[in-house]
Amino acid sequence: MGTTLIRHFLFAMSVLTGTAALAAPLQMVLLENHIPQSDDKRINVETRILPKLQQIALPNLHIEPKLLSNARAWELLRQNSNYCALNKVHTPEREQFLYFAKLPTSVYPPLQLLSTRPFSDQPINLAALLKQRPELKIGVAAGRSYNAEIDALIKQYPQQFFVRSGDDAAENLALMLGKQRLDAVIEFAAIVRASLKKQGISQPVFGQTLQGVSLSRGFIVCNKSPLGLQLIRLLDQKMQDRQYQADLVRYHREFFGEADYALIHADLMRYFPQS
């Protein structure tokens, strides 16, 4: 009788252990460059969407946010199979070592050349401007892909670009612009104006269209491994949640001014038609 009871107990424990193992959520480390402040509409869309992602991911996916510099994030993304990152622009080079989510977590109006004095009332040819004005110093963020043409110009004219690294590169560049330590920055207008407002700087900023620059979409990416593929596909399913999509569209509408939002509305509706 004692032996039978022990066998039954061991069988029951093995069933329970197997069930618990099946129920254990997958673990995703989600790298980001900003401290999440879900109640702060001034910073960006991603800081507000992160808590929603964590909520819809449960119970079978646990997302652990990890704050890192952009350079360090890229390094770890290549090394760790369960590492993913928020808000990365799609490029063919990145697709070689990353899986991209099907839906964006952010859509931004076209990048602009932002300055405290206008350069022109016409769309700017950046290559021509750099040749004509060799004294210019333009701020850009390290490790960021702007587009193929701008990325090439940054490499071609390194003396005319001030490259800022760190977790708050965009905000620090905006601050330098506001204090007129830079002639211009390449950034989203809403980010620069929000950063200056946060710092209490009332310096007027002029946004100038750059030729050949279109709107920008940020995606969640994961390490290109079997586990990374499993994580990104599970996240793709979770991001179909209608309330999540409605909140994401609302966060964009609340963050951007009316004119900027008008530039991205059609693209948002293409991805989130029910919102």
pLDDT reported for residue 257? 84
pLDDT reported for residue 47? 83
Using CA atoms of 235, 236, 238, 242 in order, give the dihedral in degrees to the nearest 10.
Answer: 150
pLDDT reported for residue 20? 41
pLDDT reported for residue 168? 83
Same fold, 25-108+216-271 and 112-209: yes
How many angstroms separate the CA atoms of 54 and 246, rounded?
16
pLDDT reported for residue 61? 96
Fold annotation for 25-108+216-271: D-Maltodextrin-Binding Protein; domain 2 (3.40.190)
Fold annotation for 112-209: D-Maltodextrin-Binding Protein; domain 2 (3.40.190)
Q: 213-252 in b/e burial notation, b at 16+ Cβ within 10 A?
A: beebbbbbbbbbeebbebbbebbeebbebeebbebbbebb
pLDDT reported for residue 123? 93
Domain-wise residue ranges, the chain: 25-108+216-271, 112-209
How many angstroms separate the CA atoms of 247 and 211, rounded?
32
Which stretches in the chain have pLDDT values below 50? 1, 5, 8-21, 35-42
How many C-beta atoms surround the C-beta of residue 92 within 10 A?
7
pLDDT reported for residue 269? 97
pLDDT reported for residue 259? 85
pLDDT reported for residue 194? 85
97: tokens are: 């070592």
